[in-house]
Copies of this chain bind each other. A is one copy, B any other.
Amino acid sequence: MEDHLMLADEARRLLFLEARTANTFAADPVSDEQVRAVYDLVKYAPTSMNQQPMRLLLLRSQDSRKRLIGHLAKGNKQKSEEAPLVALLAADMNFHERLPEVFPHVPAAQSLYADVAVREQSAKFNAALQLGYFIIGVRAAGLCAGPIVGYDEQAINRDFFPDGDRRVLAVLNIGLPGIAPWFPRLPRLPYEDVVSTV
């Protein structure tokens, strides 16, 4: 069968085929240098008008970790207690303030996002795109990502982003896999159910 991908087999396995969402983690720490290497890889992937609304808050202190765990759904607490690094992935609702710098050839860009509802929708969409890139980047560093959306969203926003400028989109556990880190892979939808032609 013809191979339609250019990406090397090893990279396919690292990023997609053998990569899994981890539910348990080894104790090995995740350094700021590793997070920086991931960001410096995935920052180049595209966003609408180069908005780049994704923001990460690394919860490094005992206090911040404990506060977060209080906001997680019961079934998600243990994973984030155990993960060597827990990050809040948020969307910056004021991303438009940076547009003169990151999209300088269109001076009117900022004014397209004067409306708060338009701005929030765009921030959330593009930060979710960037979360997709970031998860792939975590895997590129040989680490496992464990994204979580089961939490008290308002409580996290009030606690960690009291200014209202950022809104949490996901909690991301990051680290090397621990003991029995995952269940067998769940079924994926077949191509025919996802892609159609008109």
Contact = CB atoms under 8 A, between A and B. Distances in A.
Contacts of A60: 197-198
Contact of A42 (B16, B44, B64): B16
Nearest to A103: B186
Contacts of A128: 124-126, 128-129, 132
Interface residues of A, number: 82
A129 B130 CA distance: 8
Contacts of A43: 188-189, 194
B55 A41 contact: no
A147 interface: yes
B57 A198 contact: yes
A188 B44 contact: yes
Most buried by B among A5, A39, A60: A5
A155 interface: no
A46 B195 contact: no
22 contacts: A3-B37, A4-B36, A4-B141, A5-B38, A6-B14, A8-B10, A32-B197, A39-B191, A39-B195, A45-B135, A48-B149, A50-B186, A52-B188, A58-B195, A58-B196, A59-B197, A98-B193, A101-B187, A102-B189, A103-B186, A128-B128, A129-B131
The count of identical subunits is 2
B59 A198 contact: yes
A2 B104 CA distance: 34
B44 A19 contact: yes
B102 A37 contact: no
A107 to B, nearest CB: 14
Given A4-B141, A125-B124, A189-B102, A136 B45 contact: yes
